[in-house]
Amino acid sequence: MRSWSSRCGRVEVAEAGSCGLMKVFEKFFGDRGGGAAVEFALVGVTYCFMLLGAIEGGCFYLRVTVLDLATEQAARAIMINQGANNAGTFTAAPTTATAFAALIQSDSFGVLSLANIAVAVQMAGPVTGTSRAAGTGFQAIPPVASPAGTYQYLPGSCTIDYTTTTTGSSTTYALTSSSGCTAGTCATSRFALLPTQGEVSGGTETSSTSGSTVTDTYTGATFSCSAGQDIVVQAQYTDTSIAALVSYLFGPVTSTVAFQVEPATT
């Protein structure tokens, strides 16, 4: 049993009460034993918070990097009209917010959870003719500050009949008729871009040869005019793990990619 000296003389702990309450305090604060334990109790909590904070800080920047990468990958799927996730699985270009968020998640190495990903995909005004009118590009897209399932990318297409005339290595394209091609979706004037951008696919082909000239007639082909569209995608990740404190300090992680849709391949 511990004992110490006081004005009451040398006493046993069990007898402390006999000298009054003040004496108990005096003995308590006079005691030098267990100092390390008391100090650890004070410092340990702080230390644990700092250690966890360092780990969480690392996780935070991992999510930042992964979100950047995954958003680029998902944006690229729209850009080239097809995608492949990190597992090498080919996917179609996403046409809904849900599909876009799912593509980001599948590219995130399992770091991001789907429920916490908010996305915005916004398209500038359609391209009409062979060049873009002023003010209809990226400037026409309002800052995508609050991604919440916004999805304004609508790949435009319409049905056309056309012919190609090939002589030697030279090919010319001619539009015969069109259906559903409007200035707001797919202006027929964009057909002039076909030799370099090849935005047409499918259709029933009929071929005829006259001398060295081959004429192919395509009926019911799909004319796609999403190429050249200005698009801004933004993905935001809100943390709900124990890193919430770090998220509180730094806010949700946001990643933005601005790009133009590439010409389709034929």
Partner 1 sequence: MSGCAARLARARGGSAAVEFAILAPVLLLVGLASFEYSAAVRAQHDIGRVARYVADILQNQSSVSAAQLQDYFVAGQYMYASGGVDGTLAISAASVKFTNVNSAGNATTFSYCTGWDASSAATTPAYTAMPAAALVNASDLTDSYDNDSTIIVEASATYTPPFIPSFYGAVSRSFTFTAIARVRPRNVLQIATNPSPGFSSC
Q: What is the C-alpha to C-alpha distance for residues 187 and 132, in angstroms, rounded to an integer?
A: 12
Question: Per-residue contact track with partner 1, 177 to 206, x per CB under 8 A?
Answer: -------------------x----------
Enumerate residues 201-260 that contact partner 1 by CB under 8 A.
228, 230, 232, 234, 250-251, 254-260
Pull the structure tokens for residue 141.
Answer: 């897209």
Binding status of residue 26 toward partner 1 by CB under 8 A: no
Q: State the DSSP code for 136.
A: -
Residues 142 and 122: their CA atoms lie apart, in Å, by 9
CB burial class (10 A; 0-12, 13-18, 19+) of residue 22?
Answer: exposed
Q: Would you count residue 68 as binding partner 1 (CB under 8 A)?
A: yes
Compare residues 105 and 255 and give the one whose CB is closer to partner 1.
Answer: 255
Which of 8/80 has CB closer to partner 1? 80
Q: Which letter does DSSP use for residue 116 in this model?
A: G
Q: Who contacts 64 (Cβ-Cβ below 8 Å, separation ≥6)?
A: 253
CB of 208 to partner 1, least distance (A): 31
User: By C-alpha distance, which of 88, 38, 85 is closest to 66?
Assistant: 85
Q: How far is the CB of 80 from partner 1 (least distance, A)?
A: 11
Looking at the Cβ atoms of 16 and 117, the one nearer to partner 1 is 117
Q: Residues 123-152: x/- map of binding to partner 1 (CB under 8 A)?
A: -x------xx-xx-xxx-x-xx--------
Q: What angle do CA 41, 42, 43 make, to 5 degrees?
A: 100
Maximal C-alpha separation, the chain:
128
| Nearest CB to partner 1, comparing residues 203 and 228 | 228
What does the binding site for partner 1 look like in residue numbers (CB under 8 A)?
50, 54, 57, 61, 64-65, 68, 72, 124, 131-132, 134-135, 137-139, 141, 143-144, 196, 228, 230, 232, 234, 250-251, 254-260, 262-263
